[in-house]
């Protein structure tokens, strides 16, 4: 059985393109500066794994890390 995915937004790299938020609104939220943060502790709920990878590959700043636990 594959492990759970966890996402993390690197605040030094995020420039607020917000593609992550449009592609996976369940997984990302934007702060008052428009920078993205992972929802909760970043654990990806079952069924949203594809969205996590999609967001990662679509971030122009390569600011999203996806790790398998």
Counting contacts by CB under 6 A, is residue 17 touching ligand F3S? yes
Rounded to whole angstroms, how far apart are CA atoms 34 and 2?
A: 33
Q: Does 52 bind ligand F3S (CB under 6 A)?
A: no
Cross-strand pairs, 8: 65
Does residue 27 bind ligand F3S (CB under 6 A)? Answer: no
| Dihedral sign (CA 31, 23, 6, 17) | negative
Distance between CA atoms of residues 15 and 63, nearest Å: 9
Q: Which is nearer to ligand F3S, 6 or 17 (CB)?
A: 17
What is the smallest separation between the CB atom of 4 and ligand F3S, expressed in angstroms? 20
Interface residues with ligand F3S (CB under 6 A) are 9, 14-20, 35-36, 59, 61, 63-64
């Amino acid at each position: 059985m594959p492990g759970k995915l966890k996402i993390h937004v690197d605040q030094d790299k995020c420039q607020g393109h917000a593609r992550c938020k449009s592609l996976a609104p369940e997984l990302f939220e934007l702060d008052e500066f428009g920078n993205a943060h992972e929802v909760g502790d970043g654990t990806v709920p079952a069924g949203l794994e594809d969205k996590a990878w999609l967001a990662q590959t679509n971030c122009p700043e390569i600011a999203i890390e996806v790790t398998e636990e």
